[in-house]
Structure 1
Amino acid sequence: MQSSIQLWSLRLSIDEHGWDRAIEKVAEAGFRNVEPFAIDRTFDLLRPAVEANELSVPTAHGFLDDETIELTLANAAALGVRTVFHPHFDESHWGTRAAIEATAEMLNSAAQVAEDYAIEVGFHHHDYELRHLVDGESSIDRLVALLTDDVQIEYDMNWAAVARVEPLSVLTRLEGRLNAVHIKDGPLKGANTDQRALGEGELDLDHLVAVLPEDTLLVLSLDQFTGSSDDVGRAVTTSRAWLDERGVR
Structure 2
Amino acid sequence: MAPALGVQLYTVREALAADRDATLRRIADIGFSYVEPFDPTDDPEGFRRVVDDLGLRVISPHARVLLDAEDPGPILDAVATLGADRVIIPAGIPAEDFTTEDGIERAVDRLNIVNQDVQRHGLSLGYHNHWWEFEPVFEGRHAIELLADGLAPDVFLEVDTYWAALGGADVPALLGRLGLRTELLHVKDGPLTDSDAPHVAVGEGVMPTREILAAAVAATPPQAPPVIPVIELDSCATDLFDALAASHAHVSGLVAA
The TM tier, using the shorter chain, reads: 0.7 to 0.9
Contact 1:120 1:151 in 2 (8 A): yes
Query: CA 1:227–1:187 in 2, change beyond 3 Å: closer, same or farther?
Result: closer
Indicate which of 109, 112, 123 corresponds to 2:113: 109
Contact 1:161 1:189 in 2 (8 A): no
Contact 1:162 1:192 in 2 (8 A): no
- Provide, for residues 142-174 of structure 1, a one-character-per-residue CA deviation record: whole Å limited to 9, x for no partner: 211211111101101111221132212222222
TM-superposed deviation, 1:105: 1.4
Equivalent position of 2:84 in the other structure: 81
Name the CA distance, whole Å, in 2 between partners of 1:247 and 1:122.
23
Contact 1:156 1:183 in 2 (8 A): yes
TM-superposed deviation, 1:71: 1.9
TM-superposed deviation, 1:72: 2.0
Name the CA distance, whole Å, in 2 between partners of 1:69 and 1:115.
12
Task: Give the SS at the match of 1:179.
Answer: strand
Q: Return the TM-score normalized by structure 2.
A: 0.85
Indicate which of 163, 167, 170 corresponds to 2:171: 167
Name the CA distance, whole Å, in 1 between partners of 2:201 and 2:90.
22
Q: Return the TM-score normalized by structure 1.
A: 0.88
- Provide, for residues 17-37 of structure 1, a one-character-per-residue CA deviation record: whole Å limited to 9, x for no partner: 321111111011111210111
Q: RMSD in angstroms over aligned alpha carbons?
A: 2.3
Task: Give the SS at the match of 2:61.
Answer: strand
Equivalent position of 1:56 in the other structure: 57
- State how 1:6-21 maps to structure 2 within 5 Å: 6-15=8-17, 17-21=18-22
Query: Which one-letter code corresponds to 1:72 in the other structure?
Result: I
Query: CA 1:226–1:247 in 2, change beyond 3 Å: closer, same or farther?
Result: closer
Query: Which one-letter code corresponds to 2:231 in the other structure?
Result: L
Consecutive unaligned residues in structure 2, runs of 5 or more: none
Equivalent position of 1:204 in the other structure: 208
1:243 is aligned to 2:251: yes
Structure 1 window deviating more from structure 2 (147-156 vs 101-110): it is: 101-110
Task: Give the SS at the match of 2:41.
Answer: helix
Equivalent position of 2:72 in the other structure: 69
Structure 1 window deviating more from structure 2 (53-62 vs 92-101): it is: 92-101
Query: CA 1:59–1:13 in 2, change beyond 3 Å: closer, same or farther?
Result: same
Query: CA 1:94–1:41 in 2, change beyond 3 Å: closer, same or farther?
Result: farther
Contact 1:158 1:192 in 2 (8 A): no
TM-superposed deviation, 1:45: 5.4
Contact 1:84 1:122 in 2 (8 A): yes
Task: Give the SS at the match of 1:246.
Answer: helix
Equivalent position of 1:35 in the other structure: 36
Name the CA distance, whole Å, in 1 between partners of 2:20 and 2:46.
6
TM-superposed deviation, 1:92: 3.6
Equivalent position of 1:47 in the other structure: 48
Contact 1:60 1:84 in 2 (8 A): yes
Equivalent position of 2:142 in the other structure: 138
Name the CA distance, whole Å, in 1 between partners of 2:90 and 2:115.
15
Task: Give the SS at the match of 1:202.
Answer: coil
Name the CA distance, whole Å, in 1 between partners of 2:210 and 2:138.
32
- Provide, for residues 103-157 of structure 1, a one-character-per-residue CA deviation record: whole Å limited to 9, x for no partner: 2112212222222322110110000110024687532122112111111011011
Consecutive unaligned residues in structure 1, runs of 5 or more: none
Contact 2:45 2:81 in 1 (8 A): no
Task: Give the SS at the match of 2:203.
Answer: coil
Name the CA distance, whole Å, in 2 between partners of 1:43 and 1:132.
38
Aligned residues: 244
Name the CA distance, whole Å, in 2 between partners of 1:97 and 1:210.
31
Task: Give the SS at the match of 1:75.
Answer: helix
Name the CA distance, whole Å, in 1 between partners of 2:12 and 2:211.
27
Query: CA 1:107–1:61 in 2, change beyond 3 Å: closer, same or farther?
Result: same
